[in-house]
Structure 1
């Protein structure tokens, strides 16, 4: 099946096909919900999405792996990855043989993705090397622009729009933000183990919560009343971002709407699970069941088939215009 996707996307060079296959494998292994949603895209769109996910995951693995690498070693690895991308995409010269870089460069050129989007992403990734707390919402938003909103903006040309792309951009950015805010709530335990807190310190403080309280809750594997109140506030804020992002689905190309709608539904249901378990984020990890994911995806699949049926053929975009 991956061969037909690459054919549809116009990828014929065998080395490049292998690079895209590697990105697809990364997506399938690490992004189960996201990978499931990509199955609802047209075959021509999927390789580019896999490439963008694969590159983001490569950077994430440099920063978040639980191993003995020092901060200096991680910084060097991230700089090597950034340097290879810059050399290939901007300077148009050979730089190493990382298949993920090769695939994402091909995608960036095909969809005319600006280097600035990648530079902003990498800037936020570098913050994870030194920043462990965010004093307020503005500081967290600066981090999230590069780490989450930019991902939505990168995907937008692949998804296509029926309106000018700049009209859809704020909604695409909001969806990336909503997904990451959901991760922050779900992964508080894991992030704290890494020494990081991705919640605004001043908003936590409004409920009497600080790093010491979070650490105590983690050690006790419980959520006390102060933390529960703080998480309820963050939960409500994230819901509002989903509401904003959902308004942008109608601006997407019809063949992309089932995928994005499915991803939004499944990710937002992680918030449902967090609420249902009474915000016991240190006792268990919120998950959407496999059966539920398949149920939502099956509805999206029918909608995707209907949307594709209106098109007799698919062409890989070669410009940055809406499709």
Structure 2
């Protein structure tokens, strides 16, 4: 005889199904959490994914803007019982000190993507790019911290923010080609000019880098992103073991991807780089065993 799920259990199950399907990198870390924290983080991921999907979807810009405004407003109201994601997030926020205003920042970042699509806006400086990364990824780091919990430390939220920004810098380097195909350029114009790098696709949709400036910029950007990882990973000793394993696994997967891109920048000119399933599982297993990535590519227990 089977027992029907409660509405709340159904809501969390729906969020976990979304996370398993969509979070191809993050879920390797999320599954290392104990059940209650895992369910809460899946709820957070599912809502963050919904926000991202609005920005990356096929709706006209005006409809995207309205959808984002409606989603922002929905965060201030009791959840619709028919919406499992908002139902689960609302419950998770009752159980953990989740900074709900971070979802507003995420919406801000996705609205910036919509403006980029319509007005061709770009980031002029690295600081501009960091501001965007803080909205779309630093916010997620702080949402995760609300669920992880940490020992009291005045810099804990900043570390979580820095770790999210490091991950987003990795995403930007990985997705240069795909973003350009979609009319988006996230690399700072100032740095593209400094390295003499032009973002141009050939007739086959492959990035052209005749003078090697783009490869040089990618290596420079990867080295800088490693410093952001080093700063953000100061969070790990402040977390309990399972939360530390989750954070280490998620960041370790992206850090290894960053190292692969830096070792072979032209590899992103024609494909979207990723780690294999066994590579991701290996990073997660080492994280659970207490093996953390350290600056310079080494590892320490």
TM-score tier by shorter-chain length is 0.7 to 0.9
Is 1:102 aligned to residue 87 of structure 2? Answer: yes
In structure 2, distance between residues paired with 1:234 and 1:303: 28
* Partner SS for 1:295: helix
* Partner SS for 1:75: helix
Indicate if the aligned counterparts of 2:219 and 2:265 stay in contact, CA closer than 8 A. Answer: no
Is 1:134 aligned to residue 123 of structure 2? Answer: yes
Deviations 1:10-47 (A, max 9, x none): xx981121111111111111112210111111112101
Q: What is the TM-score normalised by the length of structure 1? A: 0.81
Map of 1:213-252 to 2, 5 A cutoff? Answer: 213-216=198-201, 219-224=205-210, 225-252=212-239
Is 1:30 aligned to residue 30 of structure 2? Answer: no
Q: What is the TM-score normalised by the length of structure 2? A: 0.87
Per the alignment, residue 280 of structure 2 pairs with: 293
In structure 2, distance between residues paired with 1:299 and 1:153: 24
Indicate if the aligned counterparts of 1:121 and 1:150 stay in contact, CA closer than 8 A. Answer: yes
In structure 2, distance between residues paired with 1:278 and 1:188: 11
Q: 118, 123, 139: which is aligned to 2:108?
A: 123
Q: 94, 118, 132: which is aligned to 1:143?
A: 132
Aligned residues: 283
CA RMSD after TM alignment: 2.2
Indicate if the aligned counterparts of 1:222 and 1:283 stay in contact, CA closer than 8 A. Answer: no
Per the alignment, residue 299 of structure 2 pairs with: none
Larger relative contact order (CA 8 Å, sep ≥ 6): 1
CA apart distance, 1:272: 1.9
In structure 2, distance between residues paired with 1:97 and 1:223: 50
Per the alignment, residue 320 of structure 1 pairs with: none
Gaps of 5+ in 1: 4-11, 89-93, 305-323
Gaps of 5+ in 2: 292-301
Is 1:79 aligned to residue 43 of structure 2? Answer: no
In structure 2, distance between residues paired with 1:63 and 1:73: 10
In structure 2, distance between residues paired with 1:120 and 1:14: 32
Distance 1:115 1:298, change over 3 A: closer
Moved more, 178-187 or 166-175: 166-175
Q: 186, 194, 218: which is aligned to 2:182?
A: 194
* Partner SS for 2:123: coil
In structure 2, distance between residues paired with 1:276 and 1:287: 14
